Amino acid sequence: MDARKEGEPTPMKNRTTVDRTSDREIVVTRTIDGPARIVWEAFTKPELFKRWWVPKSFGMSLLTCELDVRAGGSYRLVFRHADAGTMAFFGRYLEVTPHSRIVWTNDEGEGEGSVTTATFEEKGGATRLVLHDLYPSKEALDAGIGATEGMPETMDQLNELVVSLRTKQ
Amino acid sequence: MVQYTGPRLDASFAALSDPTRRGVLEQLGRSDASITDLAQKFHMTLTGMKKHVGILEEAGLVTTEKIGRVRTCRLGTRRLEDEMAWLERYRQLWEARFDELDTVVQELKKKERIDGRAKRR
């Protein structure tokens, strides 16, 4: 009868892998403990999407989150970061197959942006998520990763990380 | 010594932020070249190209060697481990996202169960 606080069991955390599969491609994988149609919902409904795409630890807030998830539809995300001001990310959906596959462009990169293919594979009530980024060139990929770290404080974190990796050696 | 890596990495990002310098790296990935070759390929003055190569050299992305009157440029050896650090950072970004996605999905699952029970009643 009483509302339990955070009473739900915490699901086991699954592993996130990132691989640079070629000069122009990066593949991110993760299994999510839930059916594909629910993971799909979290990807396609703005009110859900904005809750996870910008984790609190990023130190950013999402000012605009417009997702018109259908082939030919467009999206626009505008972030505000305390140090870096606002940043817009936008593009178009090339392919939308409910509960299974979304392909979108990342057009903020002025021709250097990647095309992202997200696939949802359900197995035993869990969904294996594969995000595949294809860049127009190797240099675009290098610059693209660089841009992900484009914020001053992430750069610091990156430096700290490199330092800690080297200290371990 | 550890302090060395911080500014160095910043220098790499700064070096990679310019399209000509990225082009020079791509070119050197195919073959070594002199500054004169590079200046010609990128339709640039010798002084301009020297400046770009200097920035790449400072970042450790390129090494140069002067033999006689010709300065030959080749790719530096320092690139892989930093790239691994990039990828690790990228992985952490995604991991943070997926952790939050787990929370959202668990909530939706719970809501479905409750709604399902309510409907059956």
Give the residue numbers spanning the domain of A109: 17-164
Closest to A55 (Cβ–Cβ): which among B6, B83, B97? Answer: B97
B88 touches chain A (CB under 8 A): yes
Tell me the ipTM for this assembly.
0.75
Whether the CB-CB separation of A69 and A44 falls below 8 Å is answered with yes
Distance (Å, whole) CA A162 – CA A165: 5
| pLDDT tens-place string over residues A51-93 | 898 877 777 788 999 999 999 999 999 988 776 678 888 999 9
Spatial CB neighbours of A84, under 8 Å, sequence gap ≥ 6: A150, A151, A152
Four-CA torsion B109, B113, B114, B119, nearest 10 degrees: 130
pTM for the model: 0.61
- Please indicate, yes or no, if residue A49 is contained in any of the structural domains: yes
Residue A73 sits in a domain whose CATH number is 3.30.530.20
pLDDT-derived band at B1 (thresholds 50, 70, 90) equals: very low
Residue B48 sits in a domain whose CATH number is 1.10.10.10
In this structure, are B51 and B100 located in the same domain?
no
Closest to B89 (Cβ–Cβ): which among A139, A158, A166? Answer: A158
